[in-house]
């Protein structure tokens, strides 16, 4: 389903089409060296008369800008930019800049990205810097705040991302003379005891996989199929939730990953390289064949919640049965994402080419593979780059009464 897209009507006037299907007119113009985009929510995007109105409004605005009589507040009283342009460069606050930036992000980025940025702004940036005028925000003030943070370096950098974007825009608009973040070395300020994340790669052993799947088989057929598919494909949990039957190529024995469910919304995959084709190991193919009678007819999504409650859209819906299954299997708890680590580590320790494994997992290079799974990589000369030689997932399952597969099921 992806993010927001647009349909051009004429230069500077277009229709914004949101993932929900909502359509809205937007005009774009240049004001004080800034590209301004404003929505016209009171208009019907598909009505010709309203489209002409938008075109005429843009022309009128550009005319008043040329005559230096344009009043942003009069045309767009509810716009965050109106507050900014009505303020002088001497008193515009960080809060005003952040609100404007968030309004742009909400329109142009996936909902999950917007939510993450908004969380950082509301939890940290606005309380700390919101009432400070842009010209008064100093490197010393930012350093002081960083020193008080008791979290990982990655978390601090994530929180600073919106602030950097806001200050870069303010610099481009001549509201400030320098970006104070350019004078800060964040890694030098973070407590070494908290700088690194305590998350560790802890893949499951072959024995643990067998124990988990045995319990899952008795627990619920659909969850058993999902977990087996997760172990033998290395998909992210969000990608498992977004997988649809039309993504499966039964003839070629592969499937495509092109969407994910994040924070209850369908979106594009994490990165362009995440949009990929994955080879189906026999164990993964077996899981699909068993799943087909459960969700194929009348449904789009491969994996659905028990009792036909529809597709997964929240991690908690898998987390609850996952905890119970691990407990019954006598396996130490690790989160479901460790199935992805298991896939990578098992293939690498079996001799697969690291670049091939990286591509199957949706990484552009082997950097992430070597950083997280270096100890599992064979040190010898790997000549295979697409043929599975590790033996992982290659075993043929014994027939089970509940999961009997007919020739037609494929």
pLDDT digits (tens, 9 = 90+) for 383-395: 445 567 677 877 7
Are residues 2 and 137 both part of a single domain?
no
pTM (predicted TM-score): 0.55
Q: Residues 6 or more apart from 237 whose CB is under 8 A from it?
A: 230, 315, 318, 336, 337
Return all residues near 202 (Cβ < 8 A) that are at least 6 apart. Answer: 334, 338, 341
Q: What are phi and psi of 224, to 5 degrees?
A: -60, -45
- 27 and 12 in contact (C-beta within 8 Å)? yes
- Same domain flag for 59 and 1: yes
pLDDT value, residue 377: 67
| Shared domain check, 180 and 110 | yes
241 in the same domain as 177: no
Which range of residues forms the domain containing residue 362?
206-409
Distance between CA atoms of residues 63 and 287, nearest Å: 64
> Where among 70, 85, 100 does a domain terminate?
85
For residue 268, the model assigns a pLDDT of 67
pLDDT class of 10 with cuts at 50, 70, 90 = very high
Lowest-confidence region among 31-35, 48-52, 145-149: 31-35
Of 1, 7, 4, give the one whose Cα is nearest residue 25: 7
> Would the pLDDT of 396 be above 80?
no
User: Cα 84–87–90 angle (5° rounding)?
Assistant: 115
Q: 127-146: per-residue pLDDT in tens?
A: 999 999 998 999 999 999 99
- 352 and 258 share a domain? yes
More confident residue, 319 or 80: 319
In angstroms, rounded to a whole number, what is the distance separating the alpha carbons of residues 63 and 212? 69
Q: Would you say 163 and 122 are in contact if contact means Cβ atoms under 8 Å apart?
A: no
Strands, E, within 198-317: which ranges? 248-249, 254-257, 260-262, 265-267, 276-279
If asked whether residues 126 and 243 sit together in one domain, one would say no
- Three-state DSSP class for residue 27: strand
Separation in Å, CA 102 to CA 15, 105, 152, 162? 20, 5, 24, 9
Closest to 318 in 3D by CA, of 299, 336, 296 = 336
Among 3-7, 209-213, 261-265, 320-324, where is mean pLDDT lowest?
261-265
Percentage of the chain beyond pLDDT 70 is 87
Could you tell me the CATH number of the domain that includes residue 98? 1.10.150.130
Q: Helix (H, G, I), strand (E, B), or coil: what is residue 306?
A: helix
Averaged pLDDT, 193-208: 75
Task: Choose one of 198, 216, 245: the last residue of a domain.
Answer: 198
Q: How many domains does the chain have?
A: 3
**Do residues 9 and 17 lie in contact, with contact meaning Cβ atoms separated by under 8 Å?**
no
Pairing of strands 248-249, 276-279: unpaired
Assess whether 253 and 383 both reside in one domain: yes
Domain endpoint, select from 20, 52, 85: 85
Please report the pLDDT score of residue 81 as a whole number: 78
Residue 324 pLDDT greater than 90, yes or no? yes
Mean pLDDT value across residues 215-228: 96
Residue 71, Cβ neighbours under 10 Å: how many? 12
Is the model more confident about 213 or about 169? 213
d(CA 369, CA 36): 42
Do 213 and 126 share a structural domain? no
| Domain identity same for 194 and 214 | no
pLDDT for res 87: 57
Q: For position 39, which CATH number holds?
A: 3.30.160.390
Q: Are residues 142 and 163 in the same domain?
A: yes
CA 181 remoteness from chain centre: 26
Which phi and psi (to 5°) does residue 134 adopt? -55, -40
CA-to-CA dists, residue 276 to 148, 239, 268, 311, angstroms: 41, 11, 12, 22
CATH code at 248?
Answer: 1.10.443.10
Statement to judge: residues 12 and 96 lie in one domain: no
Q: Are residues 229 and 331 in the same domain?
A: yes
């Amino acid at each position: 389903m992806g993010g927001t897209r647009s349909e051009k009507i004429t230069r500077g006037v277009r229709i914004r089409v949101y993932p929900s299907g909502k359509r809205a007119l937007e005009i774009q113009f240049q004001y004080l060296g800034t590209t301004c985009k404003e929505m016209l929510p009171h208009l019907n995007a598909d009505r010709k008369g309203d489209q002409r109105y938008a075109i005429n409004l843009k022309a009128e605005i550009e005319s008043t800008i040329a005559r230096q009589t344009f009043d942003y507040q009069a045309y767009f009283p509810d716009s965050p930019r109106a507050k900014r342009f009505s303020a002088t460069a001497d008193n515009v606050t960080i809060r005003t800049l952040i609100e404007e930036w968030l309004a742009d992000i909400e329109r142009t980025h996936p909902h999950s990205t917007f939510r993450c940025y908004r969380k950082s702004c509301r939890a940290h940036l606005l309380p700390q810097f919101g009432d400070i005028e842009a010209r008064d925000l100093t490197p010393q003030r930012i350093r002081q705040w960083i020193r008080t943070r008791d979290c990982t370096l990655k978390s601090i950098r994530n929180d600073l991302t919106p602030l950097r974007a806001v200050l870069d825009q303010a610099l481009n608009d001549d509201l400030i003379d320098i970006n104070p973040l350019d004078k800060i070395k964040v890694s030098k300020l973070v407590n070494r005891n908290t700088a690194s994340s305590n998350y560790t790669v802890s893949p499951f052993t072959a024995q643990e996989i067998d124990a988990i799947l045995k319990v899952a088989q008795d627990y619920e057929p659909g969850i058993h199929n999902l977990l087996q598919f997760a172990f033998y494909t290395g998909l992210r949990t969000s990608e498992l939730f977004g997988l649809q039957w039309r993504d499966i190529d039964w003839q070629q024995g592969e499937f495509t990953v092109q969407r994910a469910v994040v924070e209850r919304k369908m979106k594009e995959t994490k990165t362009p390289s995440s949009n990929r084709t994955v080879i189906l190991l026999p164990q993964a193919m077996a899981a699909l064949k068993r799943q087909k009678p459960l969700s194929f007819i009348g449904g789009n999504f491969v994996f659905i919640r028990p009792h036909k409650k529809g597709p997964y859209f929240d991690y908690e819906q898998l987390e609850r049965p996952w905890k119970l299954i691990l407990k019954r299997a006598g396996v130490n708890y690790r989160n479901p994402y460790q199935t992805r680590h298991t896939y990578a580590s098992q293939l690498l320790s079996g001799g697969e080419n690291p670049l091939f494994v990286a591509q199957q997992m949706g990484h552009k290079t082997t950097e992430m593979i070597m950083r997280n799974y270096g100890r599992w990589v064979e040190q010898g000369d790997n000549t295979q780059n697409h043929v599975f030689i590790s033996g992982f997932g290659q075993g043929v399952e014994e027939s089970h009464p509940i999961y009997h597969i007919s020739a037609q099921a494929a």
